[in-house]
């Protein structure tokens, strides 16, 4: 049996190279699981032109009509596929196929700049997804709580399977860092709070914490953004580094840091990067946005703050000045991460796949 995954982008719009990000990592993990269960898998995605590529034994089809109508592209995908799994809630589908699964990666309309009309449209998109597809797997409880609040009769169609961490790759180091390193391991997007991290670093340096080492481990999807970030942080180049890493190196990157910061402003699930940092025993400072509140218990295994600069700066400064608390939070974070082991994620997803699509 074949299951087709429908998603915005696994490869870049030209099909030439993979997109680097959490959604794409989630896709590859799900593809691997489906193949382990005996299903054939292919991927259909939005693109700039029509193309067909094969990567790691998976056929990937790009639909160029998405450049002028994502709705038309989705309809074409429906015509070219049988059983489907939607890797995210689509914003403008004509319909969803019945007996399919949709993955929700969290609430996406919680940006303070969102208009009331946009929020209402987003809620209607969720209602349509739950009504037509019949089953949504959510990576956090924020989405489920929204559904319970607005569409309580549809809440039973949501299964929460939090995101995962591979404990064989992400594990703690007992080496003591000197100088102290503060890490931002996210994409350079407004919703991920990159600007606030830079402002926080600048504030701490101005307060005399120039012995700290700040690092921004960012993606390679937009080299122009990386170059712009380097330019705007020239005044911090002695203490702040902007680097890109292959995913395989990220375990060592986390283990080289003592404090890891997740300053998300909106549109956040149970962050893969946050779970990885926790598994490596880092002390985490995160904003109280979306699924981050499902991972961090404030004051127990990390620090949660509102997405405001002065709150974020105060939390990081506290951890810099209190090494015992920093170490204790890291130990508890590492213990918490065990509950998000990728093997548990696979078991729960296997149950959903076999229930919805049947055995091979």
CATH topology of domain 2-164+342-357: Rossmann fold (3.40.50)
Peptide bond before residue 179 is cis, with ω within 30 degrees of 0 = yes
pTM score > 0.85 for this model?
A: yes
- Could you say which DSSP state residue 165 is in? B
CATH topology of domain 181-340: Rossmann fold (3.40.50)
Strand 181-184 relative to strand 303-305, pairing: unpaired
Distance CA(356)–CA(360), nearest Å, equals 12
Candidates 65, 56, 70, 52; CA nearest to 7 is 70
Query: Taking each helix axis from N to C terminus, what angle separates 223-232 and 194-206, rounded to the nearest 10 degrees?
Result: 20
3-class SS of residue 332 = helix
Whether 39 shows a pLDDT value over 70: the answer reads: yes
Candidates 276, 249, 248, 273; CA nearest to 262 is 273
Whether 234 shows a pLDDT value over 90: the answer reads: no
Query: What are the Cα distances from residue 247, in Å, to 16, 26, 82, 251?
Result: 19, 13, 33, 8
What's residue 175's pLDDT?
64
181-340 shares the fold of 2-164+342-357: yes
What's residue 190's pLDDT?
87
With 0-12 / 13-18 / 19 or more C-beta atoms within 10 angstroms meaning exposed / middle / buried, residue 111 is middle
- Could you say which DSSP state residue 176 is in? P
Per-state percent for the chain, helix, strand, coil, to nearest 5: 45, 20, 35
Q: What is the pLDDT of residues 301-314, one digit of tens each?
A: 999 999 999 999 99
325's enclosing H/E stretch is helix 323-337
What's residue 133's pLDDT?
85
Count CB neighbours of 16 within 10 A. 9
* Residue found by looking up tokens 């961090």 in the block: 296
**Contacts (Cβ under 8 Å, ≥6 apart) of 221:** 12, 19, 20, 21, 187
Q: What is the pLDDT of residues 115-125, one digit of tens each?
A: 999 999 999 99
Q: With bands split at pLDDT 50, 70 and 90, how would you rate the model's confidence at 218?
A: confident
Whether 283 shows a pLDDT value over 90: the answer reads: yes
360 or 66, which is more confident = 66
Whether 20 shows a pLDDT value over 90: the answer reads: no
Distance CA(97)–CA(56), nearest Å, equals 27
Which token pair is 166? 């591979």
3-class SS of residue 67 = helix
Q: Rounded to an integer, what is the distance from CA 303 to the centroid of its chain?
A: 19
3-class SS of residue 134 = strand
Cross-strand bridge partners of residue 353: none
**Contacts (Cβ under 8 Å, ≥6 apart) of 304:** 286, 287, 288, 292, 293, 296, 298
Contact 248, 298 (CB under 8 A): no
Q: What is the pLDDT of residues 76-113, one digit of tens each?
A: 999 999 999 999 998 766 789 988 999 999 999 999 99
Average pLDDT over residues 11-36: 93
Contact 48, 128 (CB under 8 A): no
**Contacts (Cβ under 8 Å, ≥6 apart) of 267:** 106, 107, 108, 110, 111, 191, 290
What's residue 327's pLDDT?
96
Q: With bands split at pLDDT 50, 70 and 90, how would you rate the model's confidence at 177?
A: low
Contact 296, 302 (CB under 8 A): yes
Contact 207, 317 (CB under 8 A): yes
- Could you say which DSSP state residue 299 is in? T
Domain ranges of the chain: 2-164+342-357, 181-340
């Amino acid at each position: 049996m074949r299951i087709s995954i429908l998603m915005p982008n696994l490869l870049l719009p030209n099909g030439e190279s993979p997109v680097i990000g959490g959604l794409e990592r989630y896709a590859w993990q799900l593809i691997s699981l489906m193949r382990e269960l005996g299903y054939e898998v292919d991927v259909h995605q939005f693109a700039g032109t029509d193309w067909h590529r094969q990567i790691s034994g998976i056929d990937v089809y790009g639909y160029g009509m998405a450049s002028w109508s994502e709705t038309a592209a989705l309809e074409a995908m429906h015509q070219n596929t049988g059983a489907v799994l939607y890797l995210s809630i689509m914003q403008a589908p004509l319909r969803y196929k019945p007996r399919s699964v949709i993955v929700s990666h969290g609430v996406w309309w919680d940006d303070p700049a969102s208009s009331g009309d946009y929020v209402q449209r987003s809620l209607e998109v969720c209602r349509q997804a739950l009504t037509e597809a019949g089953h949504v797997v959510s990576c956090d409880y924020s989405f489920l709580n929204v559904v319970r609040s607005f569409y309580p009769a549809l809440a039973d169609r949501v299964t929460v399977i939090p995101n995962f961490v591979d404990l064989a790759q992400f594990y703690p180091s007992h080496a003591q860092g000197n100088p102290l390193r503060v890490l931002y391991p996210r994409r350079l997007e407004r919703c991920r709070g990159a600007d606030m991290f830079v402002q926080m670093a600048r504030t701490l340096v101005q307060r005399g914490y120039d012995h700290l080492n700040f690092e921004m481990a960012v993606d390679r999807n937009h080299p122009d953004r990386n170059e712009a970030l380097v330019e705007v942080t020239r005044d911090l180049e002695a203490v702040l580094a902007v680097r890109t890493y292959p995913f395989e190196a990220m375990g060592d990157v986390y283990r080289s840091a003592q404090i890891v910061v997740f300053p998300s402003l909106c549109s956040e699930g149970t962050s893969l990067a946050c779970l990885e940092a926790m598994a490596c025993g880092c002390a985490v400072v995160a904003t109280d946005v979306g699924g981050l509140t499902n991972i961090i218990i404030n004051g127990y295994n990390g620090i949660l703050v509102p997405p405001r600069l002065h709150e974020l700066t105060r939390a990081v400064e506290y951890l810099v000045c209190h090494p015992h608390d920093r170490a204790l939070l890291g130990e508890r974070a590492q213990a918490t991460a065990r509950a998000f082991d990728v093997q548990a994620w696979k078991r729960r997803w296997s149950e959903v796949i076999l229930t919805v699509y049947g055995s091979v």
